[in-house]
Every structure is written in structure tokens, then in C-alpha cells.
A = this chain, B = another copy of it.
Amino acid sequence: MPIETLSTTRSHGGTQGVYKHASTVTGTDMTFAVFVPDHEPGAKLPVLWYLSGLTCTHANVMEKGEYRAACAKHGVIFIAPDTSPRGEGVPDDPDAAWDFGLGAGFYVDATEEPWAKNYRMRSYVEDELPSLVLRNFASADLTRQAITGHSMGGHGALTIGLRNQDRFRSVSAFSPIVAPQQCPWGEKALGNYLGENRENWRAYDACTLLSMGLRVPDLLVDQGEADNFLAEQLKTHLLVEACEAAGQKAEIRMQPGYDHSYYFISTFLAEHVAWHAERLKA
């Protein structure tokens, strides 16, 4: 699995790189971003995965996330995958809506046509990309991983974290979709990618996974109170209730005045990096 280096740029005492490879899982080229802090030769650094939200690529958080200073300070590698397969022949929402199809892979393995061939972001993020990183980034210590994400990517971080509780020492999220079975974004995406049988949706719903007994070692969530999507799509209170019912250790913080944008994420992402670093180095 060779990878192509699209760019490397010095920033905040480390290297921000962008890479491309032919994915066997999605059947397309995939692009991802990796920030590696300067380190001693031979040193191994823990890895924080960041999953992006609807409409995003690897680039949004790379440009606007303000994570590099914290990652350099704490010695954490930061990896941001794309949010869907892209390219010629990859089907998109028939109406080109921004909440489904391109830029909206929802971190599921689609089973329905025409999505099943390319839309396999669960396997891509859970299996193929970590394997690729292991082979190509000598400083990445995949025995110490954490995961975070925003909105649809917060949903991805929560569900991937819950389904792989031995792999991630800590999980966090910004304004996550906590119960896609109970909101329009989730119902549209899961219905199209997985079909109408809602039994098949359960593995992709954080609140349901908690109710089924899955846990993460530790959980931190930030949610802006001025987020336009809070009431209809995100429904943070369902996660609060699910964590309480499940006895899941969690800190879920409502942030007054903050919205859904990177102006919010960038305010708290350095704090999340530090929080993960503490657990990755414990």
C-alpha cells in the first residue's frame, strides 16, 4: 500500500503532511492529513484521530482547528481522514444535498446499492487507514490511540470508540450526533446506506451501543449552546441520559454562546488534545 505525499509543511515545531493513497476498501483514492511533532530519532508518539463533520475534507480541521501547538507540546500525532470516498464513479445524493453522499460517509459500511461499493468509511477508518499509518509512519505508536471528532465525526468517534474499546484509551467529541436513529441527518444516512431495517442501524448509534453494554475508558464532550443543530439533530441530552443509565464515565459540557463552527472547535480542541495526552501517557 504505497502512499503519495501531496505536501509537507513546517508548522508549530512539527510537520503537517497531506497524503494520498489508493484505498482497496473504498475503491477510490483517499486523502488524509497527519501532523507529526518533532521528536527524538526512534521515539514513538501516541496517535489522536480526528473525524470531521458533514461537507468537510481532511483540510477543514487542518486549516482551522488550531491543534498543532497542543500536539507539539504534548507529543501527539494528529490524523484527519476524509469524510467519504470521492472521485469519478462515486455516487452522490441524487439532489446533491450536503447531508448525504459525498462529504457525508457517516462512518458506516454501506450495504445498499449504489452505495455499498464505495461507502465503507467504517472499515476505512477502523482497519485500512490504521494499517497504512502503521506501515508508513514509523513514529506512530498504535498501542496508544485516542479518537475525537466533530458533528458527524463526533458520531464516528463515539461509535468507533465504543465498538473498539480495547483500542482507544480515550474518546472525545465536539457537538456530536449522539443518536442518529433519532434525528433527520441520521435517519436519512442510515436509511440509505443500510436500508430500512432499523436493526441494522444499531451498531451506528452511540446511545444504543451504550444501552447494549459497550463502554469507553473515558469520555469528554463539548457542545455549544448556541448551536443551530442542537435541538433537532444533535440532542446532547440523549447522550447524557444514556451515559447515566449505563454508568459510563463522562464529562459532557454545555458551552454557553458557542455555535457549531470551527470558531467553537478551535476554542476547545487544544484542551481535548491535552486531555487525551494525559490518558495516552498514563
Contact = CB atoms under 8 A, between A and B. Distances in A.
Interface of A: 9-13, 16, 63-64, 66, 68-69, 224, 226, 257-259, 261-264, 266-267, 270
Number of copies: 2
B11 A267 contact: yes
Query: Which of A64, A267, A270: most chain B Cβ within 10 A?
Result: A267
Contact of A259 (B9, B226, B270): B9
Q: Is the interface of A mostly helix, strand, loop or mixed?
A: mixed
A159 to B, nearest CB: 28
A264 B16 CA distance: 11
Contacts of A262: 63
A266 to B, nearest CB: 7
Contacts of A69: 66, 267, 270
Contacts of A10: 224, 226, 257-259, 263-264, 267
A66 B63 contact: no
A68 to B, nearest CB: 8
A184 B63 CA distance: 30
7 contacts: A10-B224, A10-B257, A10-B258, A10-B263, A66-B66, A66-B266, A68-B266
A267 B63 CA distance: 12
